[in-house]
């Protein structure tokens, strides 16, 4: 079984709709992240969370919100989706960020906003 | 200037060839460096961390040049299965949490 799972894997929605992307992990990591990936732009950090009570904005948080329901669950919401939010979204986890530590990524959610 | 810059490629090489990628970073205070591998439409996975003294893992060798602010990845005896996009990753600026900054990737295509 995958250590980091994301649902849904693919989603097509319309402008203005509310969308929630979910992430669950069984690695026991405290830290969780949401990234989006666009062609030619690399991965960009949307939000990150160090524990259930610690949520922080990343570099591109406008238009997004998150919820850390439990240590193992971190959800990303688009309150009113717009076409330029069409992207590949990844959830990631890590035990800590230090030299030699890695982030583990989920399989991604491909979101299309029409 | 981008925080992390990579040649997007693609690098087209035959099986058995040696290929090298470079990556430059702008933050001289960066302490952590990584190469991730990403297959088409899949999630990135850590290939190797990059240490100051350089490090080798099988056919893969990573080097760090702090003076010139670049890291490199050398792949020897390329295999078809090495075809992927290789992401250069560097920790960014700021106090406390050091966010990772991802390059846009270098695409490698290994042909028979």
Tens digits of residue pLDDT in B61-92:
999 999 999 999 999 999 999 999 999 999 86
Q: Which chain B residues are closer than 8 Å to A106 by Cβ?
A: 43
CA distance B37 to A75: 25
Cβ contacts below 8 Å, chain A against chain B, sum to 50
CA distance A85 to B19: 35
- Outline where DSSP puts E strands in B1-111: 4-6, 11-14, 19-25, 33-38, 45-49, 55-57, 60-65, 70-75, 84-91, 100-102, 106-111
Q: How many Cα atoms occupy the beta-carbon half-sphere of B18 within 13 Å?
A: 6
Residue B80 backbone zone (phi > 0: left; psi -120 to 50: alpha; other: beta): alpha
Token code pair at residue A4: 């980091």
CA distance B110 to B79: 7
- Judged against a pLDDT cut of 80, whether residue A2 lies above it is answered with no
CA distance B60 to B78: 10
Closest CA to B42 of B90, B103, B101, B87: B87
Burial class (CB in 10 A: 0-12, 13-18, 19+), A44: middle
Residue with tokens 């106090």: B95
Query: Does B92 reach chain A within 8 Å, measured CB to CB?
Result: no
For testing the chain A interface, which of B4, B39, B44 should be mutated: the one with the most A CBs within 10 Å?
A: B44
Show the low-confidence residues of chain B (pLDDT under 70): 1, 92-98
pLDDT of residue B93: 59
pLDDT of residue B92: 67
- Judged against a pLDDT cut of 90, whether residue A98 lies above it is answered with no
- Judged against a pLDDT cut of 70, whether residue A12 lies above it is answered with yes
Query: DSSP character for B41?
Result: T
């Amino acid at each position: 079984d995958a250590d980091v799972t994301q649902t849904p894997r693919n989603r097509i929605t319309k402008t203005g709709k509310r969308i929630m992307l979910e992430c669950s992990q069984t690695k026991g990591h405290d830290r969780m992240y949401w990234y989006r990936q666009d062609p030619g732009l690399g991965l960009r950090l949307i939000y990150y969370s160090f524990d259930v009570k610690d949520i922080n904005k990343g570099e591109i948080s406008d238009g997004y919100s998150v919820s850390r329901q439990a240590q193992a669950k971190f959800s990303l919401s688009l309150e009113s989706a717009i076409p330029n939010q069409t992207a590949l979204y990844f959830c990631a986890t890590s035990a800590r960020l230090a030299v030699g530590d890695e982030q583990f990524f989920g399989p991604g959610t491909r979101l299309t906003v029409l | 200037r981008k925080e992390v810059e990579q040649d997007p490629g693609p690098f087209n090489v035959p099986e058995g060839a040696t290929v090298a990628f470079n990556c430059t970073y702008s933050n001289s205070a960066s302490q952590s460096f990584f190469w991730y591998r990403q297959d088409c439409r899949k999630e990135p996975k850590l290939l190797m961390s990059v240490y100051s003294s350089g490090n080798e893992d099988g056919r893969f060798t990573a080097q760090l040049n702090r003076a010139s602010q670049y890291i490199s990845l050398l792949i020897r005896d390329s295999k078809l299965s090495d075809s992927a996009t290789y992401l250069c990753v560097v920790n960014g600026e700021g106090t406390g949490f050091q966010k990772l900054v991802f390059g846009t990737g270098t695409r490698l295509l290994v042909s028979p």
